[in-house]
Structure 1
Amino acid sequence: MHTWPVQDAKARFSELLDACTTEGAQLITRRGEETAVLIPIAEWRRMVEIARPSLKALLLSDVGRTDLEIPKRGVRRRRPTSF
């Protein structure tokens, strides 16, 4: 993975984009610290698809399955109706 300082990435964005499509992911740094990665769209879509759980996986998982705390009902009675 090639590393680009942010100043070079801004100044030579077309070259950065071409390198991304031909060579793969490109790392962008700001003040020597890794800040961002530019990846080809095909790889992005692949990663998003892998990260997205299927409906079956969601239904079989324990995520969101907790005991509901239902508040106790009050002791008040219905209001008398006035006609």
Structure 2
Amino acid sequence: MGKQTQLSGSNRPVNPAMSGRWKLEDAKARFSEVVRHAREDGPQRVTVRGHDAVVIMSVEEFERLTPAAPRVPFVNFMEALHLSGLDLEREADHGRDVEL
């Protein structure tokens, strides 16, 4: 059976997999288990010194929460850069003379 690491208010050990909250050292030691629970049971919180620090979640959950970036046509992207103030003129380059 997995290591139980925290105590509840009634001083009973709390299994981090059941609570979805892991102390950093436990999450590091059992990372594959944390990932499995994130994929199967939902986001898992990792605490540092007793305070929530990060959340590990499945990529599907992350993509659901993150808005998709709109795709801008290339011409519109370039026009949006406002490069009209830059001097982009080039001197005519005719190569150089090389003795063979």
- Fold match, TM over 0.5? yes
- Alpha-carbon distance, 1:49 to partner: 2.0
Partner of 2:51: 33
Return the match for 1:7 from 25, 41, 52: 25
> What TM-score comes out, normalization by structure 2 length?
0.48
Per-residue CA deviation, residues 3-48 of structure 1 (Å, 9 max, x unaligned), is 0000000000001011111101000000101100011101101111
1:70-81 equivalences under 5 Å are none
Partner of 1:66: none
Partner of 2:40: 22
Q: How far apart in 1 are the matches of 2:35 and 2:61?
A: 14
Structure number with greater CO (CA < 8 Å, separation at least 6) is 1
Q: How far apart in 1 are the matches of 2:39 and 2:66?
A: 18
Q: How far apart in 2 are the matches of 1:12 and 1:35?
A: 17
Structure 1 consecutive aligned stretches of length 4 or more whose deviation exceeds 6 Å: none
> What TM-score comes out, normalization by structure 1 length?
0.57
Root mean square deviation of aligned Cα: 1.9
Indicate whether 1:47 and 2:87 are aligned.
no
Count of aligned pairs = 54
Unmatched 5+ stretches in structure 1: 56-83
Q: How far apart in 1 are the matches of 2:20 and 2:64?
A: 21
Q: How far apart in 2 are the matches of 1:31 and 1:23?
A: 24
